[in-house]
Amino acid sequence: MPYFITDKAESCSGWATVKEDGEVIGCHTSKQDATDQMIAVSLAEGIEPGGERALPDNYRPSLSPDVPEGRACGNCAFYNEDEVIEVEGELRAFCGRWNDYVRGDFYCNAWQPHDEEDEDEDEIEEERAPINPDGYEVTGAMQEEAQRGLDWRREYNRGGTQVGVSRARDIVNGRRLPFDTVQRMASYFARHEVDKQGQGFSAGEDGFPSAGRIAWALWGGDAGKRWADNIVANTERKKEPKMAIEYRQFQTEIRAEGDGHTFEGYAAIFNSEAEGLNTREIIKPGAFSKSVAAAERGEWEVKALQDHDPKLFLGSTKTGTLDLEEDDRGLKVRVSLNPEVTFASDLAAMLRRDGAAMGMSFGFSVPNKGDAYDDNGIRELRNIRLHEVSLLTGNQPAYPATIGLGAVRSLSERTEIEPDRLMRAFDSLLAGAPDADSAATLDLALRKISPDLRPEPETTTEPEEADERLVPLSVRERQLALAKLEAPIR
């Protein structure tokens, strides 16, 4: 675990030397004393000093009264969820703004949304050179310094990490470095500038070359810092492409519960191929897991709306009025409506009367590597960022296989068949190949809600002599699928 220095430790009035998790190991009256301790304990453990912690004073919990609603590090443009560390069971992600690891449920005044555009910044960026796809040539001074770092490390057996050694070898061998690497070098030098103040960094001091000095050399030294800073400052910034919001719709019976102002159902079913799209598509199990987990931690907000209209706000994960659960079937949604809001009360009345004709939809975006295509050309949504779920009033579904929990419970009450047994039968039916037990369950359920339908005779009856009440099994299955959607909600 690397060590850092900071002047923001609550238990110290001046500077402090701290562990990565913030634990204070020493309070000091001067920055130099804190730096000396950081380097000393790092040398003792054979690790690279972490440098100065740079988080601002306004870094605070996102639920603080003065923090605008919906703003947290977890949904900030600088928050990099691909670089995550665990500190005493708590996950922290790298913040590109402060070059430090932050909690997703905290906030600072530098927060920016993912889709924010700064017009002034764009104008400046237009004057910068484009990123060189062939990489950037290192200088002779950088090669000399990197070789010096490798020689020192072999001689003194300290300083730097394997990453630093690999970087030094690339520089010594004259490898052209890609822009991503140049950015990481600039970030490294910015974090470790403080190491120059440590004992043994400069020639003639006791302990020269210190571990910090050797590590600095491995990255190309002062020459490397000037080179990296110049490229980053004069090159067009590499922006992640904006993630377009996509929507998927589902036909699902919504069940009103309790006082009639709470409803639940499945907003998505895994491995159910979409219809009505320009491409074949399925949602894979686990696709919502990151969004659901982040929402539970308060790091990400998902809202419930009516017909995707932000003015028709129904609830949110932040207020506790929207509950999300990803199980082995799909994404289960439960929303508690506010009875004091007119349109919400009207919606509750619609649910009690017309829930069978309503559907659900969700808005999402796909981060990098969040989807892929299988050998059959089917798009698989594997990791998606969930933004909102909406209650619809009768749109054509993209995933018709969605079944509401309310539908199953309603049918179970009417037929006295166990809900789990019905759910297994529906899954079998929706998969297109019901087994014998499922077919028998469906047949029994249909006969209970439609007593005039009788079992098929064992002997074949000519079509012109057939009793119109005797319906073939395949048709009965379709009728049952319709009957469960048309069943009145109690």
Which residues in the chain land under pLDDT 70?
Answer: 1-2, 8, 10, 20-22, 53-57, 86-89, 97-99, 114-129, 236-244, 250-254, 256, 258-260, 274-279, 354-358, 375, 393-411, 419-420, 423-424, 426-434, 449-490
The tokens 């302990």 sit on which residue? Answer: 207
Q: Which residue, among 376, 378, 269, has the nearest Cα to 333 in the 3D structure? A: 269
CB 417 within 8 A of CB 446: no
In this prediction, residue 322 carries a pLDDT of 92
For residue 330, with 0-12 CB atoms within 10 Å meaning exposed, 13-18 middle and 19 or more buried, which class applies?
buried
Distance between CA atoms of 279 and 102, rounded to whole angstroms? 39
Q: Which residue, among 417, 407, 321, has the nearest Cα to 359 in the 3D structure? A: 407
Beta bridge partners of 90: 87
Which residues, other chains included, contact 14 with Cβ-Cβ below 8 Å and sequence gap of 6+? 7, 27, 28, 29, 30, 34
Question: Considering the entire predicted model, what is its pTM?
Answer: 0.39
Q: Which residue, among 191, 247, 217, has the nearest Cα to 20 in the 3D structure? A: 191
The tokens 């928050």 sit on which residue? Answer: 79
For 252-346, list the strands marked E by DSSP. 255-257, 262-269, 281-283, 303-306, 309-316, 322-326, 330-336
Torsion angle, alpha carbons of 118, 119, 124, 129, to 10: 80
Domains of the chain, by residue range, sit at 3-123, 140-234, 246-402, 407-486
Q: How many CB atoms lie within 10 A of CB 407?
A: 28
In this prediction, residue 252 carries a pLDDT of 60
Residue 371 structure tokens: 């989807």
CB 265 within 8 A of CB 257: no
In this prediction, residue 460 carries a pLDDT of 41
Distance between CA atoms of 95 and 79, rounded to whole angstroms? 5
In this prediction, residue 100 carries a pLDDT of 72
CA 438 to chain centre: 37
The tokens 């998790």 sit on which residue? Answer: 21
Distance between CA atoms of 429 and 445, rounded to whole angstroms? 13
Could you read off the pLDDT of 410-462 as tens digits, one per residue? Answer: 667 777 787 667 766 766 665 445 577 777 887 787 777 655 444 444 444 44
Handedness of CA 476, 479, 481, 487 (dihedral sign): negative
In this prediction, residue 277 carries a pLDDT of 66
Could you read off the pLDDT of 274-333 as tens digits, one per residue? Answer: 666 666 788 999 999 989 988 888 878 899 888 777 888 888 998 889 999 999 888 889
In this prediction, residue 143 carries a pLDDT of 95
Query: What's the full length of the chain, in residues?
Result: 490
Residue 399 structure tokens: 């995933």
For 45-147, list the strands marked E by DSSP. 51-52, 60-61, 79-87, 90-95, 100-102, 106-107
